Amino acid sequence: MLLAINTLLHANGCLTLKDLYEEYSLPLVYIQKMIEDDNGANVECILDITHGWSFMHTAQYTEQIAYRIKDALKDLTKPTQLKLVFKQVDTIPAIFQSTLRQLVTSAAVEGSVKGPYDSSGMYIPTAFRDYQRSWTSEFFGQNGYLDFREMKAMLMDDPATHTAALPGHVLGHVFVGLGILAKVDCACDEALSTQGFYDLMVRYG
């Protein structure tokens, strides 16, 4: 039976306990223990028995999944939901998540994951990170300030990290450049000296 399971595994690349139950109509616990006790002697497979397991696969299968994931990600230029990537890969969720995590942490793909590695996560390509940096630099150069609300809308979760090297100060939800601050100081000084007023809300509200 173990040799038959090995043949079936290598024909498919991946098998779940449910697959084996449907094939042999034996209790899942029995099948699970039998494969664990075999310890790779007859069934050449990869198991994660540390936290329990519900599937097994071959090394070649994970290599194929890694290739499919990289192929699905290579042309992305904007944030993409992982559930859309998962649909293109055609494997079980656990293998998709573990393989993608390994690809990201080893920098085998040009991007990162925002949130969990399941269907609710988001893949952020490096090209989009480059666009964020370019947008931040250009907008600040043209306007002299950055609105954290706009930055968060562009998936910059921590706007302060994008403004750390810029000259200016944080005022509420806005990073204000030294240029604007200098103009406001001068205008306020002039208003005080002439006993006039300077409406900040009209200019910057």
Residue 16 has pLDDT above 80, yes or no: yes
Phi, psi of 145 (to 5 degrees): -155, 170
pLDDT category of residue 202 using cuts at 50, 70 and 90? very low
pLDDT confidence of residue 52? 57
Residue 3 has pLDDT above 80, yes or no: yes
Residue 19 has pLDDT above 70, yes or no: yes
| Higher-scoring residue by pLDDT: 19, 68 | 68
Contacts of 136 (CB under 8 A, 6+ apart): 146, 151, 156, 162, 163
Q: Give the predicted TM-score (pTM) of the model.
A: 0.69
Q: What is the pLDDT of residues 52-69, one digit of tens each?
A: 567 888 889 999 999 999
Percent of the chain with pLDDT over 70: 88
Q: What is the pLDDT of residues 84-130, one digit of tens each?
A: 999 999 898 889 998 999 999 999 999 999 999 988 999 999 999 88
pLDDT confidence of residue 200? 55
Q: Look up the CATH number of domain 60-126.
A: 1.10.10
Q: Do 35 and 5 form a contact (C-beta atoms < 8 A)?
A: yes
| Higher-scoring residue by pLDDT: 125, 154 | 125
Phi, psi of 15 (to 5 degrees): -135, 140
